[in-house]
Chains A and B, each alone.
Chain A
Amino acid sequence: MEIKQERDGDVVIVRLSGRLDSSAASSAEERLGAALAGEPPRMAIDMSGLDYISSAGLRVLLVLAKKVQQQKGKVALGGLVDNVREVFAVSGFDSIFAIEPDSAAAVAAVR
């Protein structure tokens, strides 16, 4: 699992690639939490390189969403591949997150 971070103005863009499962969950939670900069935080997550997500990975994103809500910030996901999008639909996570077609749209959604 690889996590890259960049900034576009007041928006933090996080690019996830590989597999977000139990083996990656702990470090992903730590890094995503640390990336929540700004008051309120604005984060766009580029998921186009993420080809697998398990329940442990979903919990990482749930914890992140909760932190963002507590800080009255915004978070959006972009570029979900089909199997990850299916996991979001089945688990109802698509009702928690703003899901955009790509990274640029996710940035625009939180701006």
Chain B
Amino acid sequence: MLSFPEEIVLLLLDETRGEFIPLPESVFAIVMSGAALMDLALHNRIDTDLEKMIVVDRTPLGDDILDDVLAGLGKANAKLDITDALYDVAVAAEAYRAKALKRLIAHGVLNEENGRFLWVFRTRRYPVIDNTEQQEVRARLRQVLLTDEIPDPRDVVLICLVDACALLGFVLSEDELDAVTPRVEQLRKMDLIGQAVTRAASETEAIIKFAATTM
């Protein structure tokens, strides 16, 4: 099973072109950070409540991204602010994307192709070799969003991340998307780190839009 940072990198790749779907870097950083923190929560390394996040177990997981994030979080049992932790981890998001890509290539999920655009600019594409995981995640999200099925904790995390990246349009048709809006709102509340990801991603997008309209 892929880690959430790997999942989000994979879901952000356009399957046919092998290029990343456009997403503001700052939003990507928040989502990548949230993916790592929610993965640590599901591995019982951190726990949260309405006020704080606590590192409850510092035992490494043998995952270079998650272990790096875990090592960087405050002292054991120190009370951390979830949003602060989200922004702290987000600083290394690009490095985590590179690590996740390297792992996906090593696992035979992606290929790496280097080329040139106009004979000058270097380009890099990541065509998907094995899209089983992408297809399974999309099918799983459709099942949970379009029915009354109670999600498992992993489904909740994926919905938070995919929604924060505005990727639900790649999973559902426009009509379906309108119909499931209340369901998405219900499900993305169910993870407290996911709530912080949604808030931070929305605030970041609002700042970007404001900056674009006032320049």
CB atoms of A63 and B153 under 8 A apart:
yes
On whether the beta carbons of A91 and B56 are closer than 8 Å, the reply is no
Chain B contacts for A58, CB-based, 8 A:
190
Residues of chain B within 8 A (CB-CB) of A21 are: 47, 56
Q: Please tell me which one of the listed residues A23, A53, A91 contacts residue B189 in the complex, with CB atoms under 8 A apart.
A: A91
B186 partner residues in chain A, CB cutoff 8 A: 92, 95
Please report which residues of chain B, range 28-58, place their CB below 8 angstroms from some CB of chain A when the two chains form the complex: 41-42, 44, 47-50, 56-57
Which residues of chain B from 117 to 170 have any CB-CB distance to chain A below 8 Å in the complex?
149-153, 156
A-B Cβ contacts below 8 A, count: 61
Contact digits for B187-200, partner A, Cβ 8 Å, 1 yes 0 no: 10111110100000
A66–B190 touching, CB < 8 Å? no
**A65 with B150: CB separation less than 8 A:** yes
**Docked CA distance A26–B156 (Å):** 19
Contact yes or no, A63 B152, CB < 8 A: yes
* Residue in B149, B150, B152 with the greatest tally of chain A CB atoms within 10 Å: B150
B56, B150, B193: the one contacting A62 at CB < 8 Å is B150
How far, in Å, is B73 (CB) from chain A's closest CB?
A: 14
Contact (Cβ within 8 A) B150 A69: yes
Query: How many Å lie between the Cα of A60 and that of B153 in the bound state?
Result: 9
A75→B113 CA distance, assembly (Å): 53
Complex contacts, B44 vs chain A, CB 8 Å: 22, 25-26, 56
Report the nearest A residue to B191, measured CB to CB: A55
Given A22-B47, A55-B41, are A91 and B190 also a contact pair (CB < 8 Å)? yes
Q: Within 8 Å CB of B57, what residues of A? A: 22
Interface members, chain A 71-103 (any B CB < 8 Å)? 86-87, 90-93, 95-96
A4 interfacial by beta-carbon distance below 8 Å? no
Q: Report which of A56, A93, A96 forms a contact with B41, defined as CB distance below 8 A.
A: A56
Report the minimal beta-carbon distance from B85 to chain A, rounded to whole angstroms: 13
Q: Is the CB of A92 within 8 A of B49?
A: no
A96 vs B191: C-alpha distance in the bound complex, in angstroms? Answer: 13
Q: Are B48's CB and A54's CB within 8 A?
A: yes
3 smallest beta-carbon distances between A and B, as pairs: A92-B189, A22-B47, A66-B150
Other contacts beyond A91-B189, A92-B187: 5, CB < 8 A: A25-B44, A66-B151, A66-B152, A69-B149, A91-B195
